[in-house]
């Protein structure tokens, strides 16, 4: 391996992310990560200072990736809930996560393991989700519902579930909820579900049974 490759901190970070995302990954050692990245343990310490420093770098990367997804949604509120739009959640998630991204598994592992690290990631997802939802309300793309705080909490829970429960949701849906056709179906159904309630809480009727943008 060339020096430029072996000394690449993102390569080490990504190898650590994949290990940490697996069951028992919290017990991975510096040597385990060095082996996975094809570098020496000393190089990891040189770049990150300690295992804790590496974990912080992984968390920062995960936070940046999730934040980028939700900022993408907020940048085009109407397009975010249109599964046929290049600005949709489905399209953004597909490009960000791909078929083999360890990020959703890492988020789930952080939730299961608990502690400050998991709590911080959940807080990030829920805060960013609520901010994106508010942008959609301000743009008139969605209704806040009769109880805006409860509606925002529901949307945050849906976003968190899509990210952290990717694999079980995929089994239930019959397709990956974060990529391709599965993401389009997931996004469209969430939009239909939220559109069925008017601002006053009454059923919006049959006009919302299809895609809200039809």
pLDDT band, residue 191 (cuts 50/70/90) = confident
pLDDT band, residue 147 (cuts 50/70/90) = confident
> What does pLDDT average to over the chain?
77
Q: Compute the distance between CA of residue 100 and CA of residue 165 in angstroms, rounded to an integer.
A: 14
**Cβ within 8 Å of residue 44, ≥6 positions away:** 12, 30, 33, 34, 37, 54
**Please, what is the Cα angle at 78 between 121 and 171, to 5 degrees?**
50
What's the CATH architecture for 1-49?
A: Orthogonal Bundle (1.10)
Does residue 192 sit in helix, strand or coil?
helix
Q: Is the pLDDT of residue 114 over 60?
A: yes
Position 42 scores a pLDDT of: 94
Q: Give the residue extent of every domain in the chain.
A: 1-49, 58-208
pTM of the predicted structure, to 2 decimals:
0.69
């Amino acid at each position: 391996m060339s020096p430029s490759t072996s000394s690449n901190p993102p390569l080490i970070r990504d190898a650590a992310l994949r290990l940490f995302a697996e069951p028992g990954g919290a017990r991975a050692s510096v040597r385990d990560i060095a082996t996975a990245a094809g570098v020496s343990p000393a190089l990891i310490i040189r770049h990150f200072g300690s295992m804790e420093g590496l974990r912080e770098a992984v968390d920062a990367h995960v936070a940046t990736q999730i934040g980028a997804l939700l900022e993408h949604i907020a940048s085009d509120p109407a397009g975010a809930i249109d599964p046929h739009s290049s600005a949709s959640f489905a399209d953004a998630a597909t490009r960000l996560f791909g078929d083999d991204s360890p990020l959703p598994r890492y988020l789930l592992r952080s939730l299961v393991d608990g502690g400050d690290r998991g709590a911080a990631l959940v807080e990030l997802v829920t805060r960013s989700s609520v901010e994106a939802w508010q942008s959609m309300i301000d743009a008139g793309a969605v209704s806040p519902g009769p109880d805006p705080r409860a509606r925002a909490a529901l949307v945050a829970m849906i976003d968190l579930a899509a990210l952290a429960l990717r694999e079980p949701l995929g089994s239930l849906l019959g397709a990956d909820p974060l990529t391709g056709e599965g993401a389009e179906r997931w996004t469209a159904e969430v939009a239909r579900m939220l559109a069925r309630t008017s601002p006053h809480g009454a059923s919006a009727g049959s006009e919302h049974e299809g895609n809200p943008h039809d």
